[in-house]
Amino acid sequence: MLEVRDITKVFGELVANDHVNVEVGKGEIHALLGENGAGKSTLVKMLYGSLQPNGGSILWHGNATTITSPSAARSLGIGMVFQHFSLFESLSVAENIVLSLGADKVLADIAEQTREVSHNYGLPLNPETIIGDMSVGERQRVEIVRCLLQNPELIILDEPTSVLTPQEADNLFVTLKRLKDEGRSILYISHRLEEVKQMCDWATILRHGKVVGECDPAKETAGSLASMMVGGDIAQIKRKKTKAGDGKPLLELKDVSLPAASPFAVALKNIDLAVNAGEVLGIAGVAGNGQSEFFDMVSGEVTVASDAAVTICGTQAGAKGINRRRKLGAAFVPEERLGHSAVPDLSLTENLILSRHGSDAAMFTSMGPIGFIQRDKVHEVAAKIIEEMDVRKSGEDPDASALSGGNLQKFIMGRELDRSPAVMVVNQPTWGVDAGAAARIRQTLIDLARSGSAVVVISQDLDEIMEISDRIAVMSDGRMSLPHNADDMSREQIGLLMAGMEGGSEQEGESAHVH
């Protein structure tokens, strides 16, 4: 169906795709695997018409073609579901879909087609529902149904399960198998290698912009796939056992409630939590259930009226802002990389100064909180972070926006870990990060906890939560479940709690005792 021959794409001195060759057959689910910065996103953007190649050719059903724009791609029969949704929250499902289908479409007709197609493919939707009132899993359905209404022969899916519960992911797999049986093809990008093994017929592996291998994923292990991606063995996560409660509480929340900040935000409801020195507390949940609001409250971006509601390292801090909390020994990594964790148009060293001047001013300036910036010292710290986290960049001190998402995430994580904080709160630590970098980040978070810090990891990746956590809590509709010992929790129980159902109720007594 699709053949890519010697595709090359160059950005300045960076060769993002270097004579890449890929073939996708009719009715095939084809995985595109690689580390961050391997060239996956660049390749699919050329297939979808968002970028133009510098060399090589694209053949569609055996005929050479030039895909000048996303609309041209859709006209050919190529659809794409992006990792980050592009939906207007104040509009209905049908209104969002009709906007993407052309001015000649009638809203009532599209609403009926949406209802019919979503039902037929096991992705039920109410066309009248406002996007802002939908869960993230339901929004994923909207993106897929919108793509299906364009009647594509090839569907490109970028990290489609990153926002889904295990049950929702299983339902998606059923849908993908049906699409395959209909003769449609799927180009599947994912860092979740077990689902690649489960779903995909063939895989192409990219490394540093070049194709370095192809394989049948079902005949490989997740470890062997990861090794092909990085060109070596992936370090195994080592998590020494710890007894929850052994350390003293370093982060405490007492009956914290906050109203929703906007019509599409989630109110926090009566959250009680104690995170101890020496432990990793994992917080699971489907996106949109209050995790972002929880992070903003813990970090001090949103304060609460009572100082006693939040305690950091023994000091009441509920009414204190983020810099005051950082001075108490806390560190925070938000979910959004560009715009929240980093200013896109500032260099890496400028972002380092911006994020740490309030807590580490003496480290960077000549006279403590004031004085001239010691540029040599700043560059020294940045170089250390870049080396330790294996941040791959195109220049000496590039702007944050010049890095791939995964490499920027590695820099931001390293920037906070370098402080050796007593309390660290991270939202989606390895989102969009390749297997090797993810293992490094997870091990570093475990090591930080074992050194005596309290670590909170908010993640939609259940594998990640279960791999690194000592205790696990789940957020649903702004409420937080009691933390459970990680070794006592199954994926199914966590998935039920994520869906707002009381799974694993037999553990409530024990969990309350541990808490």
- pLDDT of amino acid 514: 32
Distance, in Å, from the CA atom of 193 to the CA atom of 280, rounded to the nearest integer, reads 24
Q: Where are the domains of the chain?
A: 2-230, 236-329+421-515, 340-420
The average pLDDT across 141-150 equals: 92
Distance, in Å, from the CA atom of 409 to the CA atom of 197, rounded to the nearest integer, reads 26
- pLDDT of amino acid 504: 43
- Within 10 angstroms of residue 473's Cβ, the number of other Cβ atoms is 25
Whether residue 228 is predicted with pLDDT greater than 80 in this model: the reply is yes
Distance, in Å, from the CA atom of 265 to the CA atom of 322, rounded to the nearest integer, reads 21
The pLDDT confidence band at residue 509, using thresholds 50, 70 and 90, is very low
Report strand pairing: 365-367 vs 370-373.
antiparallel
Length of the chain counted residue by residue: 515
Which CATH fold topology does 236-329+421-515 show?
Rossmann fold (3.40.50)
List the single range of 188-197, 199-208, 324-333 with lowest mean pLDDT.
188-197
Q: Give the chain's mean pLDDT.
A: 88
294 touches 309 (CB < 8 A):
no
| Fold match flag (2-230 vs 236-329+421-515) | yes
Radius of gyration of the chain (CA): 23
Sequence-ordered strand ranges (E) for 166-277: 185-189, 202-207, 210-215, 249-258, 268-276
- Which residues does residue 316 pair with via DSSP β-bridges, in sequence order? 311
Closest CA to 409 of 337, 494, 491, 466: 337
Angle between helices 348-356 and 375-388 (to 10 degrees): 100
370: which residues sit within 8 A by CB, 6+ positions away? 361
User: CA dist 368 to 224, 320, 326, 348, 372, Å?
Assistant: 50, 22, 16, 22, 10
Report strand pairing: 471-476 vs 280-284.
parallel
Alpha helices in 313-392 (DSSP H): 322-327, 348-356, 361-364, 375-388
CB-side neighbour CA atoms (13 Å) of 355: 29
- pLDDT of amino acid 242: 59
| 437 SS3 class | helix
Arch. (CATH architecture) of 2-230 = 3-Layer(aba) Sandwich (3.40)
The average pLDDT across 139-156 equals: 93
pTM above the 0.95 mark? no
Distance, in Å, from the CA atom of 441 to the CA atom of 464, rounded to the nearest integer, reads 11
User: CA dist 340 to 343, 412, 427, 442, Å?
Assistant: 7, 11, 12, 22
CA–centroid distance for 507 within its chain: 30
How confident is the model over 422-471, as pLDDT tens digits?
A: 999 999 898 767 777 888 899 999 999 999 999 999 998 888 899 999 99
Report strand pairing: 185-189 vs 154-158.
parallel
117 touches 144 (CB < 8 A):
no
How confident is the model over 465-488, as pLDDT tens digits?
A: 999 999 999 999 999 999 999 999
Terminal-residue alpha carbon distance, the chain: 56
How confident is the model over 152-194, as pLDDT tens digits?
A: 999 999 888 766 767 778 888 999 999 999 999 999 998 888 8
The average pLDDT across 272-283 equals: 96
List the single range of 12-16, 327-331, 495-499 with lowest mean pLDDT.
495-499
